[in-house]
Copies of this chain bind each other. A is one copy, B any other.
Amino acid sequence: MYSAAMSMNTSERLIEATRELLWERGYVGTSPKAVQQAAGAGQGSMYHHFAGKQDLALAAIRRSAEELGAAAEAVLGGTGSAYARIEAYLLRERDVLRGCPVGRLTMDPEVIADPELRAPVEEVLGRVRARIAEVVQEGLDSGELSGGLDPEEIAATVLATVQGGYVLARATGSRAPFDTAVRGLLTLLAP
C-alpha cells in the first residue's frame, strides 16, 4: 500500500505508487501487479482508470517531470547572485542515493523507445538546462562570472554533473561522490 496516501482516491494512489516504482525500478522493472499492490487497488480498478501500463506510466512521468521543473525553478528563480542561485541548485536537498526520478528513466530502453514516454523527460531536462543558461547569462551580463563562458555549455555541465553525481553515488552506496563532484564544479565556477 502507498502508506503516506490513505486519503487519496484510487486514481491518485495508482499514479503515486507508479511514480515510486518507476523511480526505484524503472519502467521495465515495474509490473502492473506491483503497482496495484503498492496502491492497494485491484486489477479491475487499475484497468478502469488507466488503459494499461503505458498509460499509467505516462501520467506518473508527467507528474514527476512537472514536480522536478517546479523544484528547479524554485531555486533558480530565487533571490541572490547568479552564482548563489546555481550554488543553491547544486546544493539543493536531494535524496541522492535514490537518484533522479526523471533522469533515471533515460536508462530505460522502453521509455527511450516510446516517444510519448520520453517526451516529458526530454522537455523538463531541456527546460531546466535553458533556465540554468539564463542564470549564467545574467552572471555574465553583470560581470559576476568570467567572460569566456558559454551559458549553454555551462548549463549542460551543471546539469550533467548533477545527473552523473547520482551515478557515482549509487555506485559506491554513499552520497559522498555526489557532494565531491558538486564542490569541484563550484570551485571551477567560483567568481
Interface residues of chain A, those whose CB is within 8 Å of chain B, are: 24-26, 28-29, 99-100, 103-104, 106-110, 112, 118, 121-122, 125-126, 129, 148-150, 152-168, 170-173, 177-178, 180-185, 187-189
Complex partner residue of A153 from B29, B158, B184, CB under 8 angstroms: B184
What would 18 more interface pairs be, CB under 8 Å, given A28-B29, A160-B163? Answer: A29-B108, A29-B110, A99-B106, A99-B107, A122-B173, A126-B172, A149-B187, A154-B184, A159-B181, A160-B161, A160-B162, A161-B161, A163-B167, A163-B168, A164-B164, A164-B165, A185-B188, A188-B188
Q: From known contacts A24-B109, A188-B154, infer whether A164 and B172 are also in contact, taking CB-CB under 8 Å.
A: no
Taking the nearest CB of chain B, how far is it from the CB of A136, in angstroms? 9
List, in ascending order, chain B residues with CB within 8 A of A154's CB.
184, 187-188
> Residues of B contacting A181 with CB < 8 Å?
153, 156-157, 159-160
Least distance between A91 CB and chain B CB atoms (Å)? 14
Majority secondary structure of chain A interface residues (helix, strand, loop or mixed): helix
The listed residue (B107, B122, B187) touching A148 by CB distance below 8 A is: B187
Cross-chain contact B163 with A177 (CB below 8 angstroms): no
CA distance A167 to B112 in the complex (A): 11
Beta-carbon nearest neighbor of A163 in chain B: B164
- A177–B129 touching, CB < 8 Å: yes
The residues of B that contact A25 with a CB separation of less than 8 Å are 28, 109
Minimum CB–CB distance for A67 against chain B, Å: 17
Q: Are B167 and A157 in contact (CB under 8 A)?
A: no
Residues B160 and A164 in contact, CB atoms below 8 Å apart: yes
CB distance from A100 to the nearest CB of B (A): 8
Contact B172 A152 (CB under 8 A): no
Nearest chain-B residue to A30 (Cβ)? B28
